[in-house]
Amino acid sequence: MSKIVKTPKPPYYTVIFTSIRTEGDNGYDEMANQMAELSAEQTGFLGMEHARSEGLSVTICYWENLEAIDKWRENAEHKLAQAKGYEMWYQAFATRVCKVERDNIFEQK
């Protein structure tokens, strides 16, 4: 089961990636798994939350700071995946870089 990421005290950063896929796999799943593993190894990575339903996929990646996000964006393997994303995997997507200013994290006792 997916988990809610235990983030530090704000401010920290997040990239919200919402996407609608094209038909077929076309190597997507393999790449998505690779990118999930690779991003988790980057300096400043805090965690990832993911859900997908009714054609919409949402991936929320948490990072310590903007520098970590910019470095990951420029990662060579990630750039290849991005290029294929534009070319064949996504019908539409939005990438949003955000500063988390406050949060409220609750867990039932």
79 contributes a contact to a copy of itself by CB under 8 A: no
Residues 6+ positions from 25 with CB-CB distance below 8 Å: none
Q: Judged by CB under 8 A, how many residues of this single chain contact a copy of itself?
A: 43
- Out of 9, 23, 41, 86, name the contact with a copy of itself by CB under 8 A: 86
Q: How far apart are CA 37 and CA 26, in angstroms?
A: 19
76 contributes a contact to a copy of itself by CB under 8 A: no
Helix (H, G, I), strand (E, B) or coil at 10: coil
18 contributes a contact to a copy of itself by CB under 8 A: yes
Q: How far apart are CA 29 and CA 33, in angstroms?
A: 6
39 contributes a contact to a copy of itself by CB under 8 A: no
Hey, what are 9's tokens? 């005290």
5 contributes a contact to a copy of itself by CB under 8 A: yes
Cβ atoms of residues 4 and 75 within 8 Å: no
- Out of 3, 9, 29, 37, name the contact with a copy of itself by CB under 8 A: 3
Amino acid at 35: M
List residues binding a copy of itself (CB under 8 A): 1-5, 7, 14, 16, 18-20, 22, 49-58, 60, 86, 90-108
